[in-house]
Amino acid sequence: MEQGTIEKVSVLIIGSGPAGYTAAIYAARANMKPVLYQGIQPGGQLTITTEVENYPGYPEGIQGPEMMVHFEKQASRMGADIRYGLATKVDFSSTPHKVWIDEEKEIHADTVIISTGASAKWLGIPSEERLNGYGVSACAVCDGFFFKGKEVAIIGAGDTAAEEAIYLSKLCTQVHMIVRRDQMRASKVMQDRVLNSPNIKVYWNSETDEILGDKKVEAVRIKNNKTGDTLEIPVSAFFVAIGHQPNSAIFKDYVDMDETGYILTVPGTTKTNVAGVFAAGDVQDKNYRQAVTAAGSGCMAALDAERYLTSIGH
């Protein structure tokens, strides 16, 4: 397409994790000629994951990036048009829906499947960025295995942090859990599990001052925000579990979301409040956030889009 021309498509899929690729597989097989834009991180969060051992059908496990290559190849083979590019603006005020790619290319789509995922929140300290991948991780379930038999730290106070601390406690000799306030946000049952795990030590009223280490994580320095005292804890890994941010900002003027930006869908479907716009995967799921649940909702989105197109006579 020449720049400045408008491209018309039946199904536009925004995002390329398990949800987007599965939607593309189903839509292509239904002869809906889907166009998928991969976004800033082709393959999504799984490309920063190493071993995936919990996806059915891979008895030996598989590397996250390799798995996403498989998904992409399958979608391509079915006839999906997969492109590199980032959706930068949308206008869902009338039909067809308008989406701009890389701020210049305009696409008019009868249906849009939003599968832009969610990104881990980070503390924003330089040492965290510098050592990311060298002991700093935002996914204990992904990377905990590499620190088997070692001491690790985790920061966070919600259910995810509690779950990940318990997961780590089964692999690591000692888990140092850093909690900013004098209590956790996690549910009572999760808190009890943490506090009853003999090898999880909780540091209340504490913040991360610095992650220490030259080429890899060697220790974390924490600061008590009541007393101002600092403490250095030798650890081999530092896990950040302070939540995820759904990648939904460009849709906020049109699509209903919860207070944290997760897109709201009609329960049991992928339908949003905008007719012809569907949401799948982590951008609308803050509970499960697994590759297999994302793929399942991608399938649902393609089927929902197909039924919608039939209903409007396409």
Tell me the catalytic residues.
139, 142-143
Q: How far apart are CA 178 and CA 202, in angstroms?
A: 6
Q: How far apart are CA 96 and CA 115, in angstroms?
A: 19
Dihedrals phi, psi of 51, to nearest 5 degrees: -80, 130
8 A C-beta contact, residue 253 and residue 262: no
Which is it for strands 51-52 and 35-37: parallel, antiparallel or unpaired? unpaired
Q: How far apart are CA 295 and CA 305, in angstroms?
A: 15
* Number of other CB atoms surrounding residue 133 within 10 Å: 10
Q: Which residue has the tokens 């720049």?
A: 3
Name the burial class of residue 39, with classes exposed (0-12), middle (13-18) and buried (19+) by CB atoms within 10 angstroms of its CB: buried
